[in-house]
Amino acid sequence: MSRLGRKPVALPEKVKVSVDGQTVNVEGPLGKLSYTAASDITIELGEDGKEVTVSRKNDSRTAKAMHGLTRALISNMVVGVDQGYEKRLEVVGVGYLAAIAGDVLQLRVGFANEVHKKIPSDLDVKCPDQTHIVVKGIDKQRVGQFAAEVRAVRKPEPYKGKGVRYQGERVKLKPGKAAGK
């Protein structure tokens, strides 16, 4: 049986959870999130309302796979509405910069034209300076997806390390052809 799936999800004081059949609604100080679980999964709210437990109805392969996943998704929703999620990116390279104009993230990363990425309405994207981007939101998947899309515009290249990278990401640099002599 899934060890992670059996562990109950503790609820902070400010977070309210309601379970309606297979749908879980989580509400907190930062917003609301909802998730509909697979039919093989049972979600129950604790008697005192301080924890959520996830169990499976049978031992089928899909039920086993969904058991831990469902518990992890509910846990991520609880953390998201309580504290939120954040990804930090840095733009490295001479002349490379990022800026925000309205609801569009503008990236100048060595192409002939600027790259424009529309910022989703449920995310808060800021540029504290021209070389840093901060993506914040309550949905862990949406924050990570948008940060990955921004990074994919110009991944760090292995010779000079120029491009968009996560803050703290280490890029292993290769020696150039002159170093082989």
Per CATH, the homologous superfamily of domain 9-83 is Ribosomal protein L6 (3.90.930.12)
- What's the mean pLDDT in 27-35? 94
- On the question of pLDDT at 3 being above 90, the answer is no
Taking the C-alpha atoms of residue 138 and residue 150, their distance in angstroms, rounded to an integer, is 18
Instruction: List the one residue out of 127, 130, 87 whose CA is nearest residue 109.
Output: 130
pLDDT tens profile 78-96: 999 999 999 999 999 999 9
- What's the mean pLDDT in 45-66? 89
pTM: 0.90
pLDDT tens profile 59-72: 899 998 899 999 99
Instruction: List the one residue out of 154, 11, 176, 144 whose CA is nearest residue 135.
Output: 144
The larger pLDDT score, comparing residue 179 to residue 99, is at 99
Residue 45, amino acid: L
Helix (H) or strand (E) holding 10: strand 9-10
Same fold across 9-83 and 85-166 = yes
Domain covering 85-166 in this structure, CATH number: 3.90.930.12
Residue extents of the structural domains in the chain: 9-83, 85-166
CA angle 104, 76, 56 (to 5 degrees): 135
Measured in whole angstroms, the distance separating CA 107 from the mean position of its chain's CA atoms is 21
- On the question of pLDDT at 181 being above 90, the answer is no
Taking the C-alpha atoms of residue 141 and residue 147, their distance in angstroms, rounded to an integer, is 10
Residue 142, amino acid: R
Helices (H), the chain: 3-6, 61-82, 140-153
Please, are residues 82 and 29 in contact by the beta-carbon 8 Å criterion? yes
